[in-house]
Structure 1
Amino acid sequence: MKTVLHKADTRGDANHGWLHSKHTFSFANYHDPQRMNFGVLRVLNDDTVAEKRGFGTHPHQDMEIISIPLEGDLRHEDNMGNQTIIRSGDVQVMSAGTGVMHSEYNAKEDAPVKFLQIWVFPNTKGVEPRYDQITLNKEDRKNKLQQILSPDPEDDGVWIYQNAWFYMTDLNKDSSVTYTLQKPEENGVYVFVLKGNATVNEQPLATRDGFGIYDVSTLSIKADTEAELLLMEVPMSLS
């Protein structure tokens, strides 16, 4: 078993006034050669955007981009013709492929929007850009694992061009779940604690801590308080 621990207070901190972003991995002006990625998981940004503010139109290429709103409403527009609002309980995905232009703005005038932006390197480059979003039933993650992403368009959640599986769980205090890796010989799991305290394979974690683990086949997760977690199983090889 091999692990990497990223405590919440060690993340990169970018505060632009209208945007406060915490970077688990190197991003923009935050650069740490020891924190470039976890396998194909390249970006995990914990963003808070002020009222009526946001990211203007900008490009992406050959990247799988997943947005998970935590609080508030996020307005998305792109050059594929999509104009949508994503809210807590939704998951959005873009396969940037040959190139896409998009913008993201806080859709509310009286409250910030908080969301995770996650980038995953694809296993297929040069694909036709695509967009999707779904609304999940949060009750389906109460004291169990709810799949929110996979490589299979017919499976639960959104899908991406990568052998990755994401899950969310909302645990009562002292509840536990076990996660069995889909591809234990190739993949690892990055656990991100959204709320509360939990212990993962005997490692205590607190709110916004990140814990990467690989060369294992299962994870044991126990909630030490009420806790919400995001699990991201991803290939560890970039090739």
Structure 2
Amino acid sequence: MTRPNDQARLAVLIDADNAHAKYVEALFVEIAKYGTASVRRAYGDWTTNQLKSWKDSLLDHSVQPVQQFSYTQGKNSTDSALIIDAMDLLHGGTVDGFCLVSSDSDFTRLAARIREQGFEAYGFGERKTPKPFVAACNTFVYVENLIASETPLSPTDKADWKHDDRLDALLKEAVTTAARDDDWAHLGEVGSNLSRLASDFDSRTWGFSKLKDLMSAHPAYEINPQATGEGRQKTVMVRLKAPKKTR
């Protein structure tokens, strides 16, 4: 049964050996956009000092620590424990989607399997996360974007998006696909296209809190709020600017 986003039951499975506790508060704020975190577990060897920084975060956000001893040096038992629990939940019918918190490529097949079973796979990791894991998720969020307000981008960094070929290609494809006969496209449809084209698309990556702000600033596009329907609600439209005519 498909549920609205605010009713979707999500299993948040954290690879504490690979994730940082400093992102936890912002992480759960972000996860709330996709549903309710009904299962909250963090995996690691809690007998070591390495995970000491997680203690307060676990209590504050009602995250259950799952103990996994490192039986063999060089082997990551934590990954195995997380994957086994994920498969149990997948077949248990108690959740509608999974939030995998890690920057580890070892979870690529798990994310793909979750999608194959018709569940949503949300990934959360650092920008160093290998591309195969990012692509395997329905949606992937870089955790650095979650606390961007605390470390705002410099003017130099913000200018980089103007010369990002990948961004230009994504925007053009998304707008062109959603465009009507008059070349205008609903911004909401553009956003949906971007999510399908790139699981890690996020306007915050380029220093903009919303897609509307990014499209407004981009020199190749123009936006136009239009009043539609009986309630005359404003719908934001976007289109490629017509090329300038040369004499």
TM range (shorter): under 0.3
Greater RCO between the two (CA within 8 Å, min separation 6)? 1
- Structure with more helix by fraction: 2
**Greater strand fraction, Structure 1 or Structure 2:** 1
- TM-score normalized by the length of structure 1: 0.25
What is the TM-score with the length of structure 2 in the denominator? 0.24
